[in-house]
Amino acid sequence: MVERIRRTVRVWAALARAGLRTELQYRANFAFGILGGLALQGAGLAVIGTILARFQQIGGWSLPELMLLYGMRLTSHGLWTLPCSNLMVIDTAVREAEFDRYLTRPVAPFVQLVTRRLPVTTISDLLGGLAILGVALATTHLHWTLPRVLLLGLALVGGALVELSGQTAIAGLAFRMLSTGSLKFTLDDVFNTFGNYPTKIFGPAARWALTVVLPLAFASYVPATVLLGRTGELWIPVWLAWAAPAVGVALFVAAYRFWRSQLNRYASSGH
């Protein structure tokens, strides 16, 4: 088992380096991608700034608190898009029968798919997220204990896994549907729209939908309430709030299993 994991890491690293070299072949695209990414982050933050300028608070959350949530969300987003955003191009890989070769090599097809290119431009998400998070941590004056530090770190990864699970499950449908563009961009939109605000402001129905149906509340909002001492506003038990990172892991394990089971539906192309 340990040997298997070490091998996967080694192969992943080799493939990712190749993906990076591929990406760097197109230098102009690379540069514009990073600039564009940073501009997009700035625009997102500006929207929140505009709302705050008018209302001072959103759902009782002050600017530094909102920045903490926003920073956590964006960092998580960057943590999954940097290594795995090629999951989004699965339609092409399936329709053009690129999967033929993924299935005839002794490496998990998931690893081969996500490393076909390394979209370095998504690093702007990660850098932007970390910067905002840094400012938020400096201005919220929280009382830090070891469990809370651990929770923050794990929650960033857990948040990445929550979003990655959704995209992985949709990618699994690609073997049957061949075209999943609208689904995955809708999911991306939902995360980018609802993920940046405290989930409680959306009213009871949406609140439950975002906890149970599409559990994006667990990505950043729930752990942020723990860090900010706001668990009082939650509609789930506090222990579950602490376990938010585990929710991400569980979701990803389930999504990955589903994805693997769908490989057998792959029909390649031609006869």
Partner 1 sequence: MPIIRADSLVKEFRRPKRVPGRFGAVRTLLTRQYTVTRAVDGVGFDIDAGELVGYLGPNGAGKSTTIKMLTGILVPTSGAVEVSGVVPWRDRERNARHIGVVFGQRSGLWWDLPLIDSLHLAATLYDVRPADLRAHLARFTDLLGLDEFLTTPVRQLSLGQRMRGDLAAAMLHRPDVLYLDEPTIGLDVVARDRIRAFVADLNRAAGTTVVLTTHDLDDVEALCRRIILIDHGRVLYDGDVATLKARHAPHRELVVHLAEPGPVEIADAEPVAATDGRVTLRFDPARVSSADLIGRVLARHRVTDLSIVEPDLERVVAGIYADRTA
Chain positions contacting partner 1, by CB under 8 A: 7, 10-11, 14-15, 18, 21-22, 25, 97-101, 103-108, 264, 266-268, 270-271
User: Toward partner 1, which CB reaches closer, 18 or 214?
Assistant: 18
Q: How far is the CB of 98 from partner 1 (least distance, A)?
A: 8
Q: How far is the CB of 173 from partner 1 (least distance, A)?
A: 15
Q: How far is the CB of 187 from partner 1 (least distance, A)?
A: 20
Question: Residue 163 carries which side chain, given as an amino acid letter?
Answer: E
| Token pair recorded at residue 250 | 């569980």
**Number of neighbours of residue 157 by Cβ within 10 angstroms:** 16
Q: How far apart are CA 15 and CA 166, in angstroms?
A: 24
Look at residues 190, 171, 179 and name the one whose alpha carbon lies nearest to residue 86.
171
Q: How far is the CB of 95 from partner 1 (least distance, A)?
A: 13
Q: How far is the CB of 100 from partner 1 (least distance, A)?
A: 5
User: Toward partner 1, which CB reaches closer, 14 or 150?
Assistant: 14
Paired residues of 58 in beta bridges: 61
Look at residues 85, 74, 80, 77 and name the one whose alpha carbon lies nearest to residue 19.
85
User: Toward partner 1, which CB reaches closer, 54 or 271?
Assistant: 271
Q: How far apart are CA 172 and CA 178, in angstroms?
A: 10
In terms of Cβ atoms closer than 10 Å to its own Cβ (0-12, 13-18, 19+), residue 263 is middle
User: Toward partner 1, which CB reaches closer, 16 or 127?
Assistant: 16
User: Toward partner 1, which CB reaches closer, 23 or 233?
Assistant: 23
